Amino acid sequence: MATRKRNKYLEDDESENESENGYESEKEEGRGAIGGRAGKRQRFDFGDERGAEYDGERHAPGKDLDSKDDRAPDHVEEEHNCDANETSPKRKTLKPPKSVEAAEKAARKSGVLYISRVPPFMKPATLRHFLAPHAPKHGLGRLFLAPEDPTAHRARVLRGGNKKKSYVDGWVEFKSKKEARIAAETLNGCTMGGRKGGWYHDDVWSVRYLRGFKWSHLTEQIAQEDAERAARMREEVRRTRKENRRFVEDVERGKMLAGM
């Protein structure tokens, strides 16, 4: 009996402990449930906020595109206006530049001297040195000397003569007509002078002023002579080729007759 009472008390204590433990576990489960719901609600609310932010970011480019589309027609219209302005420039009368006018004016004021005989082996720089004192105010312009025939130069060198280049005649441009005319009248038929005992001291000038002659006429004349020389050379080459072709045909014809 004592053991039963003891067991009964033990069982009562155990049932009370179990009931207390069950009550506490129910409280903890209730708290856990409440906490879980709150956590779920918080997570759900946070997810909604992130979703709203993501939706806002996702729709933002659309707004930018719409704004770009709204601005695009104005930009296109501006480009069309620029193209229209470029395709329809204002017509202005073209005036020659000042440099061209100055060159034409200088050409009208210039004069040309023709030197029919250039001293042997005189260089262009030496000739300019002799003529420079006769154009003190306006100076000299261009100078052109015609070289001697290459065959004559080659023959002289083969005979043991001077190997220097020699010139036949030449043209000198004075920037002033007046100075060119005075120089032609003063120098023609006179000795060149210069340093006594010099190489050209006793040579005589042979100079003539070309009235109405300009440097452009000289360049045109030289170009025409070059064109004529090239035409003669082409004609000579054509005639030589024709003769060679006929010679070859005659040789082949002779071989055919000999073989028959």
Give the per-residue pLDDT at 216.
Answer: 84
154 and 105 Cβ atoms separated by less than 8 Å = no
Strands 111-115 and 167-174: antiparallel
Does 230 share its domain with 138?
Answer: no
Q: Give me the mean pLDDT over the 94-118 stretch.
A: 77
Give the per-residue pLDDT at 105.
Answer: 76
Does 153 share its domain with 225?
Answer: no
Does 201 share its domain with 219?
Answer: no
Give the C-alpha separation, 149 to 151, whole Å. Answer: 5
Give the per-residue pLDDT at 91.
Answer: 57
- Give 111 or 260, the one with higher predicted confidence: 111
199 and 188 Cβ atoms separated by less than 8 Å = no
| Domain annotation covers residue 105 | yes
Residue percentage of the chain with pLDDT more than 70? 62
Q: What is the mean pLDDT of the chain?
A: 73
| Domain annotation covers residue 92 | no
Does 137 share its domain with 193?
Answer: yes
Residue 149 sits in a domain whose CATH number is 3.30.70.330
Q: Is 9's pLDDT higher than 60?
A: no
Q: What is the pLDDT of residues 20-59, one digit of tens each?
A: 444 454 545 555 444 444 444 444 444 444 444 444 444 4
Give the C-alpha separation, 222 to 216, whole Å. Answer: 10
Rg (CA), the chain: 57
Give the per-residue pLDDT at 54.
Answer: 44
| Domain annotation covers residue 157 | yes
Q: Could you tell me the two tokens for 200?
A: 């050209």
Does 124 share its domain with 157?
Answer: yes
| Domain annotation covers residue 172 | yes
Does 110 share its domain with 208?
Answer: yes
Which is nearest to 132 in space by CA: 144, 143, 116?
A: 143
Q: What is the pLDDT of residues 186-230, one digit of tens each?
A: 988 888 887 787 888 888 998 999 888 888 888 888 888 888 989
| Domain annotation covers residue 257 | no
DSSP code string of 11-80: HHHHHHHHHHHHHHHHHHHHHHHHHHHHHHHHHHHHHHHHHHHHHHHHHHHHHHHHHHHHHHHHHHHHHH
Q: What is the pLDDT of residues 51-94, one digit of tens each?
A: 444 444 444 444 444 444 444 445 444 554 545 455 545 555 55
Does 126 share its domain with 159?
Answer: yes
* Domain range enclosing 122: 101-212
Give the per-residue pLDDT at 31.
Answer: 52
Give the C-alpha separation, 199 to 172, whole Å. Answer: 21
Q: Could you tell me the two tokens for 233?
A: 């050379």
At a CB cut-off of 8 Å and minimum separation 6, what does 213 contact? 112, 114
Name the band, by pLDDT with cuts 50, 70 and 90, for residue 248: very high
| Domain annotation covers residue 235 | yes
203 and 115 Cβ atoms separated by less than 8 Å = no
Does 143 share its domain with 196?
Answer: yes
Residue 84's CB is within 10 A of a number of other CB atoms, namely 9
| Domain annotation covers residue 154 | yes
Does 201 share its domain with 220?
Answer: no
β partners of residue 161: none
Does 239 share its domain with 202?
Answer: no
Give the C-alpha separation, 181 to 210, whole Å. Answer: 9
Does 129 share its domain with 228?
Answer: no
Does 225 share its domain with 141?
Answer: no
- Give 26 or 174, the one with higher predicted confidence: 174
Give the per-residue pLDDT at 242.
Answer: 93
| Domain annotation covers residue 123 | yes
Looking at the structure of the chain, the number of domains it has is 2
Report the Cα–Cα distance between both ends of the chain, in Å, rounded: 164
What pTM does this model have?
A: 0.52
Which of 12-16, 98-102, 109-113 is the least confident region?
A: 12-16
